[in-house]
Every structure is written in C-alpha cells, then in structure tokens.
Amino acid sequence: MSLLIERISRTARAVTLGARISVNIIMGGILHSVVGERIRRWGILGLSVLESIVVVIQVYVFVLLLCLYTAELE
C-alpha cells in the first residue's frame, strides 16, 4: 500500500512541477504583453531587456521548485 502511495506522490510532484512551469511561462507572456507596450518606446533594446528579465525569473522559479522536489525525495 505504501508503495502505491509513494508512486502517486512522485507522479503528483512531476505533474505539479509541469503545471507550475507552464503557468510561469503563461504569466511571462502576460507580463510581456502588459509591460511590452510601455517598453516598445525604447526599441529593440527595451524588449531584449524585458525578455531577459522574464527568462531569469522563469529559470529561477523552475530551479527552485526542482530543488524543493528533489530534496523531498532524499
């Protein structure tokens, strides 16, 4: 019985990690849409800086969640 619960728990972790990173990517797109209108006045450099900030935030959240989930497994 405990083996079944452990498998369900590991599967749930993978699913929630995937769901959270998907929501993070969607929110990055929304942020780009909202802030992008104001940044466009700065030209291509402003959009590049905005994209870089969004990517850094997405990587940070993904790595943080991945570390938390792998720490639970150990």
**Residues 25 and 51 sit within 8 Å (Cβ to Cβ):** no
Work out the number of other CB atoms within 10 angstroms of the CB of residue 60.
11
Q: Is the entire prediction scored with pTM above 0.75? A: no
Return the exposure string of 19-39: e unless at least 16 CB atoms fall within 10 Å of the residue's CB, then b: eeeeebeeebeeebeeeeeeb
3-state secondary structure of 74: coil
26-61 per-position pLDDT tens digit: 887 787 778 777 777 777 777 778 778 878 888 888
3-21 per-position pLDDT tens digit: 888 888 888 887 888 888 8
Pairwise CA distance, residues 52 & 64, whole Å? 18
Residue 73 has pLDDT above 80, yes or no: no
